[in-house]
Structure 1
Amino acid sequence: MTTFRAAVLQMRSGTEPAANIAAFSALVEEAVAAGADYVQSPEMTGMVQRDRASLMANLRPEADDPLLLEAARLAGRHQIYVHLGSTAVPLDEGRVANRAVLFGPDGARIATYDKIHMFDVDLDNGESWRESRTYRPGGRAAVADLVFDDGAARLGFAVCYDMRFPHLFREEALAGATVLTAPAAFTRQTGEAHWHVLLRARAIENGAWMIAAAQGGVHADGRETYGHSLIVDPWGQIVAEVDGDEPGVAIATIDTAAAATARAKIPNLQNARAFVVDAGDGAAGEPIRVTGAWAAE
């Protein structure tokens, strides 16, 4: 089993990438001073910009992206893991990836993950979002190992709206992840209703740590995000939180033994069974696929 110190960086990214990079760097330094071995920033660390033309005009290829270069520099300088919760990366045909990137203690890139589920919703009071108009959804889940002197912890990736799709986290847990992540820019409206309960549920049902850095407050482009960056233990207890929506840092010790303990008490990852959905017409449907180290009778 392994332990490490994890920090969530709560930001209020705006429309100017240089200012966002400066804010990110300052929070990383604060987290390192508090003893962090792993730091996670929120979704859209590099820029929160609802105007598509302005967003596209400010994007840079990955090799030249100043945020990615700064994250790599900070990881190598402090010999820590730096997990950019996500940033916008240009693709072909005018589309964009909402991409998470993990850098290792030597500053090298370890893993990337493109947000799979697009936030296409119509909320109360006229709040409406169509993320798929700009962003191309990913199609690949990802896990990566964080290696420390006393062992390794396997990390599973997700971004924001992904947290409403529990099968993504289940598959990552079955792939060995004991630490799950969901950096976000949750709207205030949905955050007040669902943020804490969703993150605690994902931790509980997978017997895994959940780390979720968040954007918070009123942003320059007019949107409002909920904040409340969280670290949740495998039993569903909140062990660290940036209370409210102001920028800040929260830190906690992650012990992978806690995941093993929770999974031993409630071994639902192993107890899952295949089943069919009875539509009431007497017809037998195809078995629902359930993965795991078990065999259906």
Structure 2
Amino acid sequence: MKVAAIQMVSSARVPDNLHQARALLEQAARAGAQLAALPEYWSCMGLAETDKLARCETYGDGPVQQFLAQTARELSLWIVGGTLPLASAEPARVCNSSLVYSPRGECVARYDKIHLFRFDNGREAFDEARTIAPGSQPVCLALDAGEAGSWQVGLSVCYDLRFAELYRAHARAGAQLLLVPSAFTHTTGQAHWEVLLRARAVENLAYVLAPAQGGRHENGRRTWGHSMAVDPWGEVMALQAEGPGVVLAQLDAERLREVRAQLPALAHRVL
């Protein structure tokens, strides 16, 4: 199965971001991708943390969800919509949700980010819990890639990457591909992004696809980028450091079976 990680430098203007995303998704489709994943906050990187409250949509309706459904259908592409803010039961907080659309334009899975980022080094500070309500359930889905077969795909978002137990739950569910749409800060990304992605691939003997925000945003935030695809042996297959672009990789089910047969670590789990 050919997959694409879409890297963006999203602005505070939703229409501009939709336009950029459409162009990059079209590029991925022309290159033969069957699955394309957008980064976290792809439809809007607000000027303030509270901007997402005004831009949230009700699950199942809204211009961003309509865009994802229409684009998936028109491009005959599986699309993972990075994340977008969806209404929660709490009026002052939203869910940071990753939606998966089939080539028929149907939303077939929803994952609400479980782990909420908090960081303060005295120069930059973030606390997602102020505006985001956490999810509670891992989500793994079966994705039909036609001649490339069926793939079990585990969903996650950004800060989730630091919590190995989530990915182990995906492994127990049979995940072969782990998705990590992200907006890592430049500070934390430079230190930890690649090593964490490669670790999640190695310990779960799975492919990892990580689309990211990558550049300087209008709100002053600088994201790390380095969108990449990693194979089950922990090798980086493809990468883009900064700026908008498409990272392409060919996933090989036989290679996955081979690695898991040579090193059956998943069968050796005790805890």
TM class by shorter-chain length? Answer: over 0.9
Distance in 1, Cα, partners of 2:18 & 2:256? 34
Cα shift readout 1:19-56 (whole Å, capped 9, x = no counterpart): 11111111101111111110000011111125244332
1:122: Cα distance to partner?
1.8
Distance in 2, Cα, partners of 1:59 & 1:187? 23
Alignment partner for residue 210 of structure 1, among 199, 208, 224? Answer: 208
Counterpart residue number, 1:133: 130
Distance in 2, Cα, partners of 1:93 & 1:116? 16
How is 1:161-240 mapped onto 2 (pairs within 5 angstroms)?
161-240=159-238
Distance in 1, Cα, partners of 2:50 & 2:113? 21
Query: SS in structure 2 opposite 1:144?
Result: strand
1:87: Cα distance to partner?
1.1
Cα shift readout 1:102-134 (whole Å, capped 9, x = no counterpart): 0001110110100100001223x5211110011
Native 8 Å contact 1:46 1:88 kept in 2:
no
Counterpart residue number, 2:62: 65
Distance in 1, Cα, partners of 2:159 & 2:232? 21
Counterpart residue number, 2:253: 256
Native 8 Å contact 1:7 1:38 kept in 2:
yes
Cα shift readout 1:114-166 (whole Å, capped 9, x = no counterpart): 0100001223x521111001101100000111112232001000000000001
Counterpart residue number, 2:109: 111
Distance in 1, Cα, partners of 2:138 & 2:9? 27
Q: Which runs of 5 or more residues in structure 1 are unaligned?
A: 274-289, 291-297
Query: SS in structure 2 opposite 1:132?
Result: helix
Distance in 1, Cα, partners of 2:268 & 2:109? 30
How is 1:45-64 mapped onto 2 (pairs within 5 angstroms)?
45-49=42-46, 51-64=48-61
Native 8 Å contact 1:75 1:105 kept in 2:
yes
Counterpart residue number, 2:8: 11
Distance in 1, Cα, partners of 2:258 & 2:22? 36
Native 8 Å contact 1:233 1:258 kept in 2:
no
1:14: Cα distance to partner?
1.2
Alignment partner for residue 21 of structure 1, among 18, 21, 28? Answer: 18
Counterpart residue number, 2:269: 272
Counterpart residue number, 1:153: 151
Are residue 84 (structure 1) and residue 81 (structure 2) matched? yes
Counterpart residue number, 1:93: 90
Alpha carbon RMSD of aligned pairs, Å?
1.3
Distance in 2, Cα, partners of 1:58 & 1:180? 28
Distance in 2, Cα, partners of 1:170 & 1:53? 33
Counterpart residue number, 1:143: 140
Distance in 2, Cα, partners of 1:160 & 1:54? 19
Distance in 2, Cα, partners of 1:28 & 1:184? 17
Native 8 Å contact 2:57 2:85 kept in 1:
no
Bigger shift: residues 81-90 or 264-273: 264-273
1:68: Cα distance to partner?
1.3
Larger Rg: 1
Query: SS in structure 2 opposite 1:126?
Result: coil
Are residue 36 (structure 1) and residue 33 (structure 2) matched? yes
Distance in 2, Cα, partners of 1:213 & 1:13? 13
TM-score (norm 1): 0.87
Native 8 Å contact 1:96 1:135 kept in 2:
yes
